[in-house]
Structure 1
Amino acid sequence: MNLNDRDRTDLLNFVNDMRSYVALGDFEAQNLSSAGDMNKLRWDCGLESLAEQVIADCPENPPLEYPTNGVNYRFYGRNTSFFKLRNSLRAAVLEWTSIEDMIWSTSNLFDGNPASRDAANAILYFV
């Protein structure tokens, strides 16, 4: 995927806007508390390069996790809609926001519920 600086800025702003909703306690999820200190993310071209290497062969299954970076993987196959393919990064981020449709654990920890795994990864890896 060839990203230009505008793509990077647009995507980063999109993710940081969603993080801001969480940080301010405005995200519509039950039991998800606001954040006391959530910094904005910065783009890392090294991680972008690593992601490009991981998806070069278009593996259907997620790669192994890296010890220093979280991985939240989405596979879009042959039957994927044109919108998701054309806007795959934005579509993946939108999928991560599905937490609003579930009840978050009152302990504020991932409780093993498979339905909340992606949301937990998004929070852990984007925080």
Structure 2
Amino acid sequence: MDINEYGKSNIVYTKKFAENRDRTLTQNAFIRRIAKTNGLQIKDADVAVKMVIDELLACLREGLCVKLQGLGTIGTYTRKGRVLEHNAITGGRCESQDKTVVKLVPSQKLNASLRGVEI
């Protein structure tokens, strides 16, 4: 089996995001990458990443938006429920409830860097 530098196989799957499974980092692989590129111990990078994730989740639970320069704004919003007049399975009417979802609004700098344009 062919394994890439992050310990992932290069097998192509058909599900969403799985097509690039060899280009997807797990949290542990991401932590190892941060440690390697910044000359840190893995345990120090692990603590830093987990602190950032925990605080980001706490802010989102409180309904706050987090603006990260160069990345964008991460926040929550409520997606309205829908009414389907014909459910293909039951043949009747189907309603979905309102739900809270997370959204990343990318910054202009991020969009430009992905296109290879300098701002």
TM-score after normalising by structure 1: 0.23
Structure number with higher helix proportion: 1
TM-score after normalising by structure 2: 0.24
Instruction: Answer with 1 or 2: which has the greater Rg.
Output: 2
More relative contact order in 1 or in 2 (CA 8 Å, sep 6+)? 1
Structure number with higher strand proportion: 2
